[in-house]
Amino acid sequence: MKTIYFDNNATTRVAPEVLEAMLPFLGERYGNASSMHAFGGRVAKDIQAARERVAAFIGADPSEIVFTSCGTESDNMAIHGAAEVLGPQARVVASRVEHPAVLGPCRRLRDMGFSETEVPVDSAGQLDLDALREALKDGAPSIVSIMWANNETGVVFPMAEIAQIVKAAGAVLHTDAVQVAGKLPIDVRSAPVDMLSLSGHKLHAPKGIGVCYIRRGTRVKTFMLGGHQEHGRRGGTENVPYIIGLGRAVELAAAGMEEENRQIARLRDKLERGLLATCPDARVNGDVRNRLPNTSNMSFEYIEGESILMHLSDRGICASTGSACAAGSLEPSHVIRAMGVPFTAVHGSVRFSLSRYNTEAEVDTVLAELPKIIAKLRALSPFCQNG
């Protein structure tokens, strides 16, 4: 059975060009960039070239790029590192719909005595900017972490405006830009955040490589102590092959973005329109005017997202749901819940997320299969009023 992969917000396939760029560094070019000899020195130059590519990709200076092990590490580094500088009187502000990699460190800081505020979103999943202003209005030292785009709904937050609000309050701003990278242009000059997280495996580089952009002058306590690597911001011998791979991945993403987005959005819209037309009681979750071009989050009322995913999986189709099945009770997604999606739809949410490797034929297969699955599950659902 052929796999149809519509789960690209969870992870993406490594681009063949990326793999090709990496392979020499898993083979004969194994030098350590910190060595005195020329064999290591050449690797240092290759790392620097990748750093320059990543910097150009987001409008930063190469000296502001810190390579990490993943997006989660970047989020932890930024939030903990800034909070530690501000001290325990400081406040931590995040949105209610952040990824667990942001909510985790924020809640840990709350447990350590920091005050913590989680800013709500509206029914379209858009950030309540007035609530953000309100949270910062006393001007107390604060670290704010607001994602650029949501991984479950694809809703894009107005980062330039958020930066304006946060900077006006004198607070430090971090953004989790993991989902935006490669899908929309990022420029830290027009959206002047202080720190920003990226993850390689969400844009066709391998799992296990991330970036934390730290604007020059931003004070962050170093978390990974050890060697002098990454301008002393993160000790540890560089993950050379993965850094090289990420450098190639951002180059590909930048070169192809506009054209690929047009194609991806066209397929996404065809899928969404087709499902709305053929599945009764279906809805799209999130602000469709401000959304990533590759993401569709849909609810099919009266049925469980998990059941839909199982049936899709049996047909080789990969999608996802935000909800996790915990200890026998089905916990709905915190993102969908924060949007106040009605009870009958909150459990039936399914996310389709596309990439440059998806085809029209794959969309047609899902359009042929999913309505049948929905009809079958509805017939079994105790909640379904239409039998």
Ligand X SMILES: *Cc1c(COP(=O)(O)O)cnc(C)c1O
Q: Which residues bind ligand X (CB under 6 A)?
A: 70-72, 99, 101, 147, 151, 176, 178-179, 199, 201-202, 210
CA-to-CA distance for 357 and 112, rounded, in angstroms?
44
Contact indicator for 148, 176 with CB cutoff of 8 Å = yes
Q: How far is the CB of 337 from ligand X (least distance, A)?
A: 17
Q: Which one, 151 or 153, has the nearer CB to ligand X? A: 151
Q: Which one, 176 or 251, has the nearer CB to ligand X? A: 176
Q: Is 325 a catalytic residue?
A: yes
Q: How far is the CB of 149 from ligand X (least distance, A)?
A: 8
Which candidate, 209, 199, 153, places its Cα nearest to that of 177?
199
- The two most distant CA atoms of the chain are separated, in Å, by 74
Q: How far is the CB of 147 from ligand X (least distance, A)?
A: 6
Contact indicator for 220, 82 with CB cutoff of 8 Å = yes
Q: How far is the CB of 296 from ligand X (least distance, A)?
A: 16
Q: Which one, 210 or 247, has the nearer CB to ligand X? A: 210
Q: Which one, 177 or 346, has the nearer CB to ligand X? A: 177
How many Cα atoms occupy the beta-carbon half-sphere of 246 within 13 Å? 32
CA-to-CA distance for 248 and 205, rounded, in angstroms?
8
Choose, from 70, 212, 318, 325, the residue flagged as catalytic.
325
DSSP state letters, 251-266: HHHHHHHHHHHHHHHH
Residue nearest to ligand X (CB): 71
The phi, psi pair for 229, rounded to 5°, reads -60, 160
Q: Where are the alpha helices (DSSP H) in the chain?
A: 16-26, 38-58, 71-86, 100-111, 129-136, 159-168, 240-278, 305-314, 334-338, 343-346, 360-380
Q: How far is the CB of 145 from ligand X (least distance, A)?
A: 11
Q: Which one, 6 or 302, has the nearer CB to ligand X? A: 6
Active-site residues: which are they?
Answer: 325
